[in-house]
Amino acid sequence: MKKLHLCLISTLLAASMHAQSIDYTKGLSIWFDKPNNLDGRASWYAPTADKSWESNSLPIGNGSLGGNILGSVAAERITLNEKTLWRGGPNTEKGADYYWNVNKESAHLLPEIRQAFVEGNQKKAEELTRRNFNGLADYEPSRETPFRFGSYTSLGEAYIETGLSEIGMTNYKRALSLDSALAVVSFRKDGVNYERKYFASYPDSVMVIKFTADKPGMQNLVFSYGANPEATGTIKADGNNSLLYTGRLKNNQMKFALRIRAIHKGGNLTATDGKLIAQGADEVIFLLTADTDYKLNFDPDFKDPKTYVGADPEQTTLAMMNTAAGKSYNELCERHKADYTNLFNRVKLTLNPHAPMTLQYPAVTDLPTYQRLARYRKGNPDYKLEEIYYQFGRYLLIASSRPGNLPANLQGMWANGVDGPWHVDYHNNINIQMNYWPVCSTNLGECAWPLIDFIRTLVKPGEKTARAYFGARGWTASISGNIFGFTSPLTDEDMSWNFNPMAGPWLATHIWDYYDYTRDKKFLKETGYDLIKSSANFAVDYLWHRPDGTYTAAPSTSPEHGPVDQGATFVHAVIREILLDAIDASKVLGVDAKERKQWQHVLDNLVPYQVGRYGQLMEWSVDIDDPKDEHRHVNHLFGLHPGHTVSPVTTPELAQAAKVVLEHRGDGATGWSMGWKLNQWARLQDGNHAYKLFGNLLKNGTMNNLWDTHPPFQIDGNFGGTAGITEMLLQSHMGFIQLLPALPDAWKNGAVEGLCAKGNFEVDITWENGSLKEATILSKAGAPCHVRYGDKTLTFKTSKGKTYKIAMENGELKTLR
């Protein structure tokens, strides 16, 4: 009787707890009402065919360890990633000499190429460039053994069999809460409410998975691990409740480890045959830690094959696990939420909060995300979905880019299979840069550090590339990068995509941006300035100083588009940007007056922007633009965005020419391309056209889980979309804070809090009936503040830490008392 009584109390308490649980489909969330079918295990050699993973999974991550939740009922499937798990590098079979022997000694050919341009011999200039300015490493593993460039590769997959089936299941929900960085799967089966929670903790370096139900003894689980087939390794029990997998990649012998520990309440738990088996448990918590022996190296030894090899992951994962296991689930969860919300909650966006419901459903927010997206594609407004999309970009950046690890790659950090699209690498001709466009403006400055550190790893190898191809000082990079300092072009002779020496200077502009937003002079002096200076010196030496005194980029290309040229607009625009950055940085620090004078001289004599016969900003040095060309790259508008040398405020004629280009290119394209054009229309201060691009991106470049698609999945469009929405509401690239520069008619009322402006200002804005109501500006550095709204301007001094309110009064922009 006593036993029955206790059991009844336990059941009632569990039911009560479940009844009070949070509905994670509310608030800022992405959710589904249907489970994924398991569809077997990993699609290792055809990951793009795994459509459930690509469009229906939910990503979690802590910048190092990531996972995708599939949410199947019979057996949970979680794809796993560790950010540093890469094939390739100097530790492949042929060693360091083979790996680093990738640059061609081509600088001596530059005079001949330039003379060919003088003589009008385009064919000769192009052929010399094509044959000599490619590299010696192949981008396709089938054409090179061993594959030295390498690829990002999956950590494997976790499977948790539940003994349940979908027959008779109801109330299924699979949700990703952006408010708490928590994924939740819940359903009802045979009168029992089941719930699973998942998160990846940055402060505790652990992934946590919790299985519960509202009745005791319902957890009958079998945890198993599916390893990457391109690795050799073993899995073994590590005590009664733990598993340890240790493996090495076949390509480069990179060592990695995965630890799984199960903590249960009630029932039994055993570790046997590489599996963790729970029987009749009330609750089971799985803790996962993972690591590799990769070492970030800013000064690699070009003779040492193990220059990127560091600590033993078997030991690092043990330390992580012991630390995490010493905390309760609630403690781990609260520490995770506190860390995450400290970043995420800095920015809030509200669009048309009181817009009337014009839909046939009682509340659009009651629909799963994929249904809302389907309705949006048909032209039905959904401002809350737009808010969710915006904040999802910030969520993904927090989850995939945290200090102490590598930057977000082509898929952030979530990849499925041995290899993936474009090797899931660091594409330096737009993609990695786009990943970080929202980092400072949306108040996530800490998340920029992985990019800064990655750039630092490119300097020493990039100096070799700069000397070999251009006889230049400084450093640069090329189109594709890996985690082992790869800065060279690849073997392909198609120069339309493989010749991109301005990748280094473009990356270096992010260093100045970080300073300009933070005004961290110590950072600029100790870390940033040398990166900027050496990049500016490379740009100067790369240019052709023509007999007429002008400087032009010969040879050059417009990435992924068009011929080899003697002065591609994109290249000149990047050079303008890095030289301006170097000049400003040297002034801030009061150093290098001689170099500054040279930079200014080159800047003053750089071939100017040119407007072509259609009124367009020309892409090349000759007027060959085709108004019917809808190519996805809009490289020649770099000066409009992300640069600042073209603006409707300062160069209205050039801005109009840029607008013609965008009209020619059209409003469609791949996901990331629409993201870029969204930012460019915002910079043109055309809010309605920017909103059209945002709508197209969300309708046509976004999958059901709101991931961006090229296709296939690329994450840069998500980050570009978030950055573009920010640009519509706030711009600060022209030396002043511009409020609501591209507000569309559709966003009649709204508010945004916590955006950042250059000069280290934090800005809140409220608007009503399409007009500014009030702005609040927090000065975090005490710099003078220059504000613009429409054609009205305001300048005032500030004190560090003080807040100022701005509004329109009697037709003028004023500070409020």
Residue 755 domain-assigned (yes or no): no
Residue 4, pLDDT above cutoff 70: no
Pairing state of beta strands 231-237 and 242-249? Answer: antiparallel
Q: Are residues 205 and 328 in the same domain?
A: yes
Please, are residues 634 and 662 in contact by the beta-carbon 8 Å criterion?
Answer: yes
pLDDT at 46: 56
Residue 742 domain-assigned (yes or no): no
d(CA 491, CA 498): 8
pLDDT at 18: 44
Q: Would you call the peptide bond into 407 cis, given omega within 30 degrees of 0 as the criterion?
A: no
Average per-residue pLDDT for the chain: 94
Residue 268 domain-assigned (yes or no): yes
Please, are residues 544 and 575 in contact by the beta-carbon 8 Å criterion?
Answer: no
Average of pLDDT values for 635-662?
98
For tokens 């590489």, the residue is 274
Q: How many residues are present in the chain?
A: 817
- 726 pLDDT band, cuts 50/70/90, is very high
Per-residue b/e over 551-571, b at no fewer than 16 CB within 10 Å?
bbbbbbbbbbbbbbbbbbbbb
Residue 372 domain-assigned (yes or no): no
Q: Are residues 125 and 258 in the same domain?
A: no
d(CA 28, CA 365): 10
Beta-carbon count within 10 A of 299 CB: 9
pLDDT at 51: 78
Q: Model confidence over 371-405: pLDDT tens digits?
A: 999 999 999 999 999 999 999 999 999 999 999 99
Residue 521 domain-assigned (yes or no): yes
Residue partners of 721: CB distance under 8 A and separation at least 6: 389, 390, 393, 675, 678, 694, 697, 698, 708
Q: Model confidence over 593-620: pLDDT tens digits?
A: 999 999 999 999 999 999 999 999 999 9
Please, are residues 225 and 274 in contact by the beta-carbon 8 Å criterion?
Answer: yes
CA–CA distance from 666 to each of 431, 669, 687 (Å)?
20, 8, 16
- 15 pLDDT band, cuts 50/70/90, is very low
Q: Are residues 189 and 290 in the same domain?
A: yes
Pairing state of beta strands 182-189 and 58-61? Answer: unpaired
Q: Model confidence over 484-498: pLDDT tens digits?
A: 999 999 999 999 999
Q: Would you call the peptide bond into 461 cis, given omega within 30 degrees of 0 as the criterion?
A: no
Lowest-confidence segment of 144-148, 241-245, 365-369, 528-532 by average pLDDT:
365-369
pLDDT at 22: 84
pLDDT at 20: 44
Question: Which of 293, 315, 344 delimits the end of a domain?
Answer: 344
Report which of 795, 801, 747, 755 is spatially closest to residue 775, judged by C-alpha positions. Answer: 755
Residue 662 domain-assigned (yes or no): no
pLDDT at 16: 37
Question: Which of 344, 377, 411 delimits the end of a domain?
Answer: 344
Q: Model confidence over 561-575: pLDDT tens digits?
A: 999 999 999 999 999
d(CA 286, CA 479): 40
Which phi and psi (to 5°) does residue 216 adopt? -75, 155
**For 277, left (φ over 0), alpha (ψ -120 to 50), or beta?**
beta
CATH label of the domain that carries residue 514? 1.50.10.10
**For 505, left (φ over 0), alpha (ψ -120 to 50), or beta?**
alpha
Q: Model confidence over 47-78: pLDDT tens digits?
A: 555 778 999 999 999 999 999 999 999 999 99
Please, are residues 179 and 27 in contact by the beta-carbon 8 Å criterion?
Answer: yes
Q: Are residues 126 and 237 in the same domain?
A: no
Q: Are residues 118 and 218 in the same domain?
A: no
Residue 360, pLDDT above cutoff 50: no
Report which of 319, 78, 35, 55 is spatially closest to residue 208, judged by C-alpha positions. Answer: 78
Q: Are residues 109 and 222 in the same domain?
A: no
First vs last C-alpha separation in the chain: 73
d(CA 703, CA 711): 10
d(CA 482, CA 89): 8
Q: Are residues 336 and 468 in the same domain?
A: no
Q: Are residues 536 and 597 in the same domain?
A: yes
pLDDT at 17: 39
Residue 274 CA to its chain's centroid (Å): 35
d(CA 146, CA 816): 66
pLDDT at 37: 78
Determine which helix (DSSP H) or strand (DSSP E) holds 236, and give its type and residue range: strand 231-237
Residue partners of 706: CB distance under 8 A and separation at least 6: 30, 369, 373, 388, 389, 392, 718
d(CA 148, CA 140): 10
Residue 571 domain-assigned (yes or no): yes
The per-residue DSSP string of 540-560 comes to HHHSEE-TTS-EE-SSEEETT
pLDDT at 364: 77
Question: Structural domain tally of the chain?
Answer: 2
Q: Are residues 114 and 67 in the same domain?
A: no
Q: Are residues 73 and 124 in the same domain?
A: no
Q: Model confidence over 186-206: pLDDT tens digits?
A: 999 999 999 999 999 999 999
CATH label of the domain that carries residue 301? 2.70.98.50
**Higher per-residue confidence, 716 vs 360:** 716
Tokens, residue 310: 């560091």
Lowest-confidence segment of 16-20, 29-33, 328-332, 665-669 by average pLDDT:
16-20
CA–CA distance from 751 to each of 16, 225, 276, 739 (Å)?
38, 46, 49, 12
pLDDT at 2: 37
pLDDT at 366: 87
pLDDT at 52: 85
**For 780, left (φ over 0), alpha (ψ -120 to 50), or beta?**
alpha
Please, are residues 645 and 573 in contact by the beta-carbon 8 Å criterion?
Answer: yes
Tokens, residue 808: 């329109």
Q: Are residues 230 and 117 in the same domain?
A: no
- 44 pLDDT band, cuts 50/70/90, is low
Residue partners of 662: CB distance under 8 A and separation at least 6: 634, 637, 677, 680, 681, 684, 689
The per-residue DSSP string of 739-796 comes to ESTT--TT--SEEEEEEEETTTEEEEEEEETTEEEEEEEEESS---EEEEETTEEEEE
d(CA 47, CA 63): 22
**Higher per-residue confidence, 20 vs 615:** 615
Residue 1, pLDDT above cutoff 50: no
Residue 162 domain-assigned (yes or no): yes
Structural domain boundaries, residue 210:
23-88+154-344
Residue 503, pLDDT above cutoff 90: yes
For tokens 């044959």, the residue is 131
Which phi and psi (to 5°) does residue 303 adopt? -100, -15
State percent of the chain over pLDDT 70.
95
Per-residue b/e over 474-485, b at no fewer than 16 CB within 10 Å?
bbbbbbbbbbbb
Q: Model confidence over 681-696: pLDDT tens digits?
A: 999 999 999 999 999 9
Question: Which of 587, 608, 629 delimits the end of a domain?
Answer: 608
Average of pLDDT values for 404-415?
97
Q: Model confidence over 133-176: pLDDT tens digits?
A: 999 999 999 999 999 999 999 999 999 999 999 999 999 999 99
Per-residue b/e over 679-716, b at no fewer than 16 CB within 10 Å?
bbbbbbbbbebbbbbbbbbbeebbbbbbbbbbebbbbb
Average of pLDDT values for 5-33?
63
Q: Are residues 80 and 107 in the same domain?
A: no
Tokens, residue 387: 């808010």
Please, are residues 378 and 699 in contact by the beta-carbon 8 Å criterion?
Answer: no
